[in-house]
Copies of this chain bind each other. A is one copy, B any other.
Amino acid sequence: MFPYKSIIQIHKSNETPVYLQIANAFAREIQNGVLKPGTKLPGARSLAVLVEVHRNTIAAVYEELSMQGYIELLPKKGAFISKRIPDIKPKPVGSKTRVITYPVASGFLIKEKTSLPEIGLVKKSVLEFNDGLPDERIAPLDDLMRNYRSSFKRRGRIQFGYSDTEGNPMLREAISGYLNETRGLQTTGENIFITKGSQMGIFLVSQLLLDKKDVVIVGETSYPAADTAFKYAGASLVRVKIDERGIDVDAIEKICKTKSIRAVYVTPHHHYPTTVTLSACRRMSLLALSERYGFAIIEDDYDYDFHYKSSPILPLASGDHEGMVINIGSLSKNFSPALRVAYIVAPKNVIAELAKLRFIIDRQGDYLLEQALAELFKEGVIKRHLRKALNIYHERRDILCDLLKTKLSGAVNFNVPDGGLAVWTEFDKSRSLKAITMRAAKNGLVLNDGSHYDEGKNNLNATRLGFASMNAGELEKAVRILSGAISSK
C-alpha cells in the first residue's frame, strides 16, 4: 500500500483543523502526480488507525477532497482519485524527511526590458553623509500624528473607501495656495496632482510623455533615478554641460536645431548634484526655446524650500504662460524620506492624463496621510517648521563648510551652496574617492563615491555631502572620520 502515513504530518498546534491538514496533504500528492487518477484510497477506518485520528476526521477529509473535486466517493465502492485529474509526471516520492520547498527560481523567462540599476540601500544607524536628506528629528511628526489620528477616528467611507486618484482634494488646495504664495504661481487645486514621492512624479511624467525614439536632454551630471525613468520609458538621453550658472542653454539650442527634442529635465533651483542655481537669463532663454521647439520642461524642485542666499528664485513654472513646464515638488524633504508625499504641478489636461495612468499603477495615494498634511498646512505648522528648518540647515551648512575648510583644506574643493541640503565636494584627484569611501565605511561613516552622478563616465572624484540630517556634533565626528580616511593609505 502507498505509504500514506509518510505523507501526512499533523500539527495539532496549527490553526488549520486536522482534517484540513490531512486533506491538503492528499491534494499535494495528487498535484505532485504521486497519487494517480483512479487510485482507490484506503477505507476511513483503516486510514484513521494508521494516522491516529478519529474515523470521523477521515470521513471529513474525504468529504472535503470530494467537494474540491480531487476524489470521487462511489457508494459501496469507496473513495477514488478523480479520473478527471490529469496524469502528471510524478515528483520525488514523499517521505517523512522530504522537505517540500518553494521554487528557487522562475520557470518562465524574465526579459531584461532595460538595464535597471541595482538598488543600494545604506545601512541604518551609522553616521552618514547622505544625498541631502532632512533631519526627521526636527520635523513636526507629533503634529502630523495628531492629525492623522483624528482623520482616522472619523471613520467615514470617505476616509476608508476608494478616493480620488488625483489626491486628497484638501491637500491639493493647500499645496496650490502654498505654491501661489511662495513661488509666484497662479494655480488652483486642479493643477496639483499628489504622488508618492517625487520619484513617482518623474515616473508618471516619463510614462505620459515619452516613447521609444524620443530624446530627453539632461545635465552632464544628473539625477540617476530620473535618467533611469526616462530610459525605462524608452527615451534616449542627450547630456548637456553644467557650469556655474546651471545647464548650458546655448548648447540646448544647438541640439534643437539638429534633432527633435521631447523634453528637457532640469533641477534649476539647485542643480542635482552640483547645487548651482540656473541663472535668470538662462531660465528665460530656456522657456523661450521650449515655446519655439515645443519640448516640455520637466522642472524638478526637489529641495526648493531651502535656499540661504537671497530669497528662493521663482521656478520656471512661474514664468510659463504657454503650458510648457511640468513642475515637480516634494513634501518628503520637510519631514522624512519615509513620508512619501510629493506633487506635480501642470495644466489640467496633463493632470487628467496622469490620473488615468496612475489608476492602473496603484489606483490612489494615502488619503488619510494626505488629509493630515493638509491640516498641517491649514494650521500653519508646515510654514513654521520650514522657517525653523531653514535656520537649522543654514547653520549646519555653515558648520560643515567651515569644517571642510579647516580640517580638509587641500584635500577637497567646494563652493558654499546657496541652497539645498548638500555640499558638492570635489576631492583632490590624487586621492581616489572610491578608496576613501571604503575606508570611511570601515570606521562607521557612510558616504557616496559619486560615480553614479554621470554614469561613471568622467572620473568626477566628487560627491554630495548632505549636512541637514546631522547636528553639529555629528558633523564634526563625520568630518573627523572622513579626514582619517583621506590621509590613511
Q: Which residues of A contact B (CB under 8 A)?
A: 14-16, 20, 23-24, 27-28, 30-32, 64, 67-70, 82, 84-86, 88, 91, 100-111, 113, 116-119, 121-122, 124-125, 133, 136-137, 141, 145, 149, 152, 155-165, 181-182, 184-188, 191, 195-197, 199-200, 203, 207-209, 211, 225, 228-229, 232, 263, 279-281, 283-285, 287-288, 290-291, 294-296, 309-311, 313-314, 318-324, 335-340, 346-350, 353, 355-357, 359-364, 366-368, 383
Query: Are the C-beta atoms of B209 and A288 separated by less than 8 Å?
Result: no
Query: Are the C-beta atoms of B102 and A186 separated by less than 8 Å?
Result: yes
Residues of the B chain whose Cβ atoms lie less than 8 Å from the Cβ of A209:
108, 110-111
Q: Knowing A31-B319, A184-B27 are in contact, say whether A160-B338 is a contact too (CB < 8 A).
A: yes
Residues of the B chain whose Cβ atoms lie less than 8 Å from the Cβ of A106:
296, 323-324, 346-347, 349-350
Please report the C-alpha to C-alpha distance between residue A295 and residue B164 in the assembled complex, in whole angstroms.
36
Closest 8 CB pairs of A and B: A103-B323, A31-B319, A69-B280, A116-B356, A160-B336, A136-B160, A107-B322, A108-B296
Please report the C-alpha to C-alpha distance between residue A87 and residue B443 in the assembled complex, in whole angstroms.
55
Residues of the B chain whose Cβ atoms lie less than 8 Å from the Cβ of A30:
280, 284
Please list 13 pairs of residues, one from A and one from B, whose beta carbons are closer than 8 Å in the complex, sorted by A's number. A28-B319, A103-B347, A105-B323, A105-B347, A107-B294, A110-B353, A121-B163, A125-B156, A145-B149, A159-B338, A160-B336, A199-B361, A338-B364
Query: Are the C-beta atoms of B102 and A187 separated by less than 8 Å?
Result: yes
Please report the C-alpha to C-alpha distance between residue A472 and residue B124 in the assembled complex, in whole angstroms.
51
CB-nearest residue of chain B to A380: B15
Whole-angstrom distance from the CB of A390 to the nearest CB of chain B? 13
What 7 new A-B contacts, CB under 8 Å, besides A28-B184, A107-B290? A27-B314, A31-B319, A103-B347, A105-B348, A125-B158, A149-B149, A161-B338
Within the oligomer, what is the number of copies of this chain?
2
CB-nearest residue of chain B to A20: B311
Query: Are the C-beta atoms of A362 and B107 separated by less than 8 Å?
Result: no
Main secondary structure of the interface of A (DSSP, over half): loop
Please report the C-alpha to C-alpha distance between residue A100 and residue B317 in the assembled complex, in whole angstroms.
13
Query: Are the C-beta atoms of B145 and A152 separated by less than 8 Å?
Result: yes
Query: Are the C-beta atoms of A199 and B280 separated by less than 8 Å?
Result: no
Whole-angstrom distance from the CB of A323 to the nearest CB of chain B? 3
Residues of the B chain whose Cβ atoms lie less than 8 Å from the Cβ of A211:
111, 113
Please report the C-alpha to C-alpha distance between residue A28 and residue B110 in the assembled complex, in whole angstroms.
52
Query: Are the C-beta atoms of A284 and B184 separated by less than 8 Å?
Result: no
Whole-angstrom distance from the CB of A369 to the nearest CB of chain B? 8
Among A149, A157, A197, A203, residue most surrounded by chain B Cβ atoms (within 10 Å): A157
Query: Are the C-beta atoms of B199 and A363 separated by less than 8 Å?
Result: yes
Query: Are the C-beta atoms of A105 and B349 separated by less than 8 Å?
Result: yes
Query: Are the C-beta atoms of B196 and A284 separated by less than 8 Å?
Result: no
Among A68, A116, A117, residue most surrounded by chain B Cβ atoms (within 10 Å): A68
Please report the C-alpha to C-alpha distance between residue A232 and residue B204 in the assembled complex, in whole angstroms.
13
Whole-angstrom distance from the CB of A95 to the nearest CB of chain B? 16
Query: Are the C-beta atoms of B27 and A280 separated by less than 8 Å?
Result: yes
Query: Are the C-beta atoms of A360 and B116 separated by less than 8 Å?
Result: yes
Question: Among B69, B162, B228, B340, which residue has its beta carbon within 8 angstroms of that of A362?
Answer: B340
Please report the C-alpha to C-alpha distance between residue A133 and residue B68 in the assembled complex, in whole angstroms.
26
Residues of the B chain whose Cβ atoms lie less than 8 Å from the Cβ of A181:
14-16
Residues of the B chain whose Cβ atoms lie less than 8 Å from the Cβ of A185:
102
Whole-angstrom distance from the CB of A336 to the nearest CB of chain B? 4
Residues of the B chain whose Cβ atoms lie less than 8 Å from the Cβ of A165:
119, 121
Query: Are the C-beta atoms of A84 and B28 separated by less than 8 Å?
Result: no
Residues of the B chain whose Cβ atoms lie less than 8 Å from the Cβ of A263:
108
Residues of the B chain whose Cβ atoms lie less than 8 Å from the Cβ of A359:
116-117, 119, 225
Please report the C-alpha to C-alpha distance between residue A177 and residue B329 in the assembled complex, in whole angstroms.
39
Q: Knowing A107-B324, A145-B149, A285-B86 are in contact, say whether A228-B360 is a contact too (CB < 8 A).
A: yes
Q: Knowing A102-B347, A157-B136, A199-B363 are in contact, say whether A309-B187 is a contact too (CB < 8 A).
A: no
Q: Knowing A15-B181, A348-B105 are in contact, say whether A162-B314 is a contact too (CB < 8 A).
A: no
Q: Knowing A113-B207, A118-B356, A353-B110 are in contact, say whether A157-B321 is a contact too (CB < 8 A).
A: no
Question: Among B28, B111, B119, B280, which residue has its beta carbon within 8 angstroms of that of A82?
Answer: B280
Among A207, A311, A383, residue most surrounded by chain B Cβ atoms (within 10 Å): A311
Q: Knowing A32-B319, A136-B160 are in contact, say whether A347-B84 is a contact too (CB < 8 A).
A: no
Residues of the B chain whose Cβ atoms lie less than 8 Å from the Cβ of A199:
360-363
Q: Knowing A200-B362, A359-B119 are in contact, say whether A281-B69 is a contact too (CB < 8 A).
A: yes
Query: Are the C-beta atoms of A86 and B162 separated by less than 8 Å?
Result: no
